Structure formats: structure tokens, C-alpha cells
Amino acid sequence: MDLYKELVHGKGYAVFSIENMQIFEKLRDSFIAKINISNGSEKNIDVVRKAIAKMSKAEINKSMINLLTFTNLSEMMINSCPKLVETLCGKELFIQRRAHTIINVPGEGQAKQWTHYEMISGISPYSYVIWAPLHDLEDHGGVYYIDQKESSEIMKKEEASGLVNGPMVLNMMQHQKPTRLKFGQAIPIT
């Protein structure tokens, strides 16, 4: 599969395997250390997820502040998949100093984040986002993407009505099923 063609002229997303798992594992371990959530001396992603599931939203937000010190996350992600990044972006890159991190809390009714479009979020139309889970996604706690042609048509209809994330977008998204990924798989999007 030609990822560039799929992202730019196709669906707008594709699943790929992380190229350098050693760096990606270090990224996950750095996340665990920086978020500073644990039960006792054991620190792994499953322990962190279980602890987060018992926390209030305020406690989760407070823990997320610890991630502000994770200033090399973007660089680690690039180094986890250098061939992909070079294929899509070339060798001259501008990267976010602090990558955007979302915690999907385990458990029923917790999996959904507010729908958004990277383009509307102020991100350059000449950028790519790489979404990679730090654990296997075996439930409905993942992420889903909608074909860029379909989502662009709906966005244009809503924009003509003066809306962003209006009822057409929300109705379209409520029937989506999250992509099941294994640790070490990721999705780049345009």
C-alpha cells in the first residue's frame, strides 16, 4: 500500500506497524513515569489504566499536568517510525514541542472523546497526525476515523449552515466502531 496516496487521495487514514519498537516501548515507559500514577511499586500500562479508571475527572486532569514535562514525546514518535515520517514529510520537519496526549479512561461510558477535526483544531493542512495506543485495544476504547471524502462533504454542509461539530457530524459518529489496534500499530491521518 502506498501510504501517501491512501492518506492524501484515499480514505485519509491507514493502519501501519511501528518501525522501531524499542524506541516506542521507551516512549510508553516514559509516559508511565511522567504521568506518575501507580499502585505500589509496580509500574506498567495496565496498572496505570486500572488506577485511572478509579480516579475522578479532576484527578485525571491533575495527573495529565505531569505530562507537560514529556517534551520529547514528538521526537520519540518520529524516531519510532522514521521511514514513514520521511516518506510523508521529507527531512525538514517542524514538530510540536509537546505532543497532544489523550487518556481514554477504561470502563463503560468512558471511551468517547469529543469529536474533532485536526484541521479545525488549528493544525496546518500540511501536517500529519500519528495516533498510536500505548496498549492493545481490545474494547471500545480506541479511536475511529471516517473516510475523508465523506467527512469533508458533511463538514462543508455544516459550515454552510454556520456549524462546527453539529448534529450531522455527531449523528455520523455515533454509529462508528473503534479501530482495534495492537500495541505497536498506529494510524497516520491527514
Residue type, 72: N
d(CA 12, CA 80) in angstroms, rounded, equals 21
d(CA 29, CA 32) in angstroms, rounded, equals 5
Are 37 and 45 in contact by the 8 Å Cβ rule? The answer is no
Share of the chain above pLDDT 70, in %: 78
Weakest-pLDDT range from 6-10, 17-21, 136-140: 136-140
The model's pTM = 0.80
d(CA 168, CA 172) in angstroms, rounded, equals 6
Looking at residue 69, the DSSP 8-state letter turns out to be: G
More confident residue, 43 or 139: 43
d(CA 8, CA 12) in angstroms, rounded, equals 6
Q: For residue 103, what is its C-alpha cell?
A: 487518556
d(CA 151, CA 47) in angstroms, rounded, equals 36
Q: Looking at the predicted structure, is the pLDDT value of residue 26 above 80?
A: yes
